[in-house]
């Protein structure tokens, strides 16, 4: 019995030491494998070759930015917004609901990311999007515990569209609200004053003319 206990003690100690030694190696290997699941697009990749691809399967770090004049668009593109009257509503399960003016939006901490938008079968835009740091915005609104999803709505009226995203993607700024693209103010046809930018999602989820975001627990 004593020999058995001694053997188990030695075995457990060996496994613990092995984990400490090899754990970082295994973690790095998992990261490389995860990165390897994405196809790395070489510089010079033609945008037309991407219109049937799944954006979450693509590594676009080498992809050139699409000139704004060449951007494709979908859905309503002529919705008029009065910036002076417009507000971004942040409601739902938050302790401090917000109604932010356009100048207040521009005054929030910002992020800027290259993100690929694919409208399957039609076009692919690789833009340099600038917008709101969503983590900071949700800290201001004081999100309640157990919130799981964020719903974005726009434009207000008969053409309103709603899309929901996991809160984790929003907090990590994989999904955020943009007010600029390629160094310019977001054009009307692309959703001025705010549109959803959703990394790894198809373009149909990228709501334009956003006026409201709602925090949900379901």
pLDDT at residue 70, as a whole number: 97
Q: Report the alpha-carbon distance of residue 10 to residue 201 in Å, rounded.
A: 50
Name 192's Cβ contacts closer than 8 Å, sequence gap at least 6: 81, 179, 185, 186, 209
Query: Domain-by-domain residue ranges, the chain?
Result: 1-37, 39-216
The answer to whether domain 39-216 has CATH 3.30.1490.100 is no
pLDDT at 23 over 50: no
The structure tokens listed for 64 are 């050139």
Per-residue pLDDT of 37-94, as tens digits, reads: 899 999 999 999 999 999 999 999 999 999 999 999 999 999 999 999 999 999 999 9
Closest CA to 180 of 110, 99, 81: 110
Where are any strands of DSSP class E within the chain?
Answer: 39-40, 58-59, 88-92, 98-100, 110-119, 123-132, 149-154, 161-166, 175-181, 184-185, 195-198, 212-216
pLDDT greater at residue 162 or residue 33: 162
pLDDT at residue 6, as a whole number: 52
Average pLDDT over residues 99-119: 98
């Amino acid at each position: 019995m004593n020999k058995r206990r001694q053997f188990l003690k030695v075995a457990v100690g060996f496994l613990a030491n092995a984990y400490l030694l090899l754990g970082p190696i295994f973690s790095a290997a998992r990261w490389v494998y995860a990165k390897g699941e994405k196809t790395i697009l070489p510089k010079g990749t033609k945008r037309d070759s991407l219109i049937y691809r799944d954006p979450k399967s693509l590594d676009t770090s080498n992809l050139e930015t699409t000139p704004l004049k060449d951007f494709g668009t979908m859905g309503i593109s002529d919705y008029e917004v009065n910036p002076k009257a417009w507000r971004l509503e942040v409601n739902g399960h938050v302790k401090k609901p917000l109604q932010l003016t356009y100048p207040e939006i521009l005054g929030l901490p910002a992020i800027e990311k290259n993100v690929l938008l694919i409208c399957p079968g039609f076009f692919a835009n690789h833009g340099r999007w600038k917008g709101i740091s969503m983590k900071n915005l949700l800290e201001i609104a004081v999100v309640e515990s157990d919130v799981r999803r964020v719903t974005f709505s726009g434009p207000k009226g008969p053409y309103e569209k709603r899309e929901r995203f996991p809160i984790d993607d929003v907090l990590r700024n994989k999904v955020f609200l943009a007010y600029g693209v390629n160094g310019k103010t977001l054009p009307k046809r692309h959703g001025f004053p705010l549109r959803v930018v959703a990394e790894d999602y198809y373009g149909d989820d990228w709501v334009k003319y956003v006026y409201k975001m709602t925090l949900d627990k379901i």
